[in-house]
Copies of this chain bind each other. A is one copy, B any other.
Amino acid sequence: MLSRRGLMLVLSSPSGAGKTSISRKLLEIDDNINLSVSATTRKRRPGEVEGKDYHFVDETSFKLKINQNYFLEYAEVFDHFYGTPAEQVADRLEQGKDVLFDIDWQGTQQLKANARDDLVSIFILPPSLAELERRLHTRAQDSADVVAGRMAKAADEMSHYPEYDYVIINHDLALSVQAVCQILAAERLKRERLVGLTDFVKRLRSR
């Protein structure tokens, strides 16, 4: 059996499209893919484990690492930094393991600049405007303004679908998970990911 190089799978979507449920299910059923462990400057919360949930670092060293190209992608969210250590991902890919990224279009653009053929990107869309609104209207007391704000943010996020390789319209969680699994299965058979193929074919042709 040939070994293969791992791939980086990016799932993006506007909030309310179901990306988090799909990611969770995928991690459950596919042993060969994991979330990468991000570095963050936010404080460790009770129960979180260093090196498992996050790598906890202070802001000075985080910024230093940015300058050293330590991160494949990073973002600042509510005054805290989050980033993906490049080396950790490279190690997994070398071992033929896949890495899942649950990130937005900005993170995806950064990854693209650093990942080339290793990147496979999927954009998840909600099945309809009504359904998206229903999902974003999470609580009865949400004001019309709050929902309108979320819809505007979702609309902005959705404008970036053309930057993705695949598009899944999430009518049904189980079907969408199956679609992601099929994409993974196919991408794992891409010629350029197969390691040792040149030698394998050389042996087949050696008679």
Contact = CB atoms under 8 A, between A and B. Distances in A.
A191 B155 contact: no
A173 to B, nearest CB: 16
A204 B129 contact: yes
Interface string A159-193: 10110111111010000000100110111011100
Given A182-B185, A185-B186, A207 B166 contact: no
Interface string A112-128: 00000000000101101
Given A183-B186, A185-B179, A189-B183, A204 B155 contact: yes
Given A129-B206, A204-B128, A166 B182 contact: no
Copies of this chain, whole number: 2
In the complex, which range does the number of interface residues on chain A fall in? 35 or more
Interface string A62-103: 000000000000000000000000000000000000000000
Contact of A191 (B161, B171, B204, B206): B161
Contact of A169 (B2, B161, B162, B169): B2
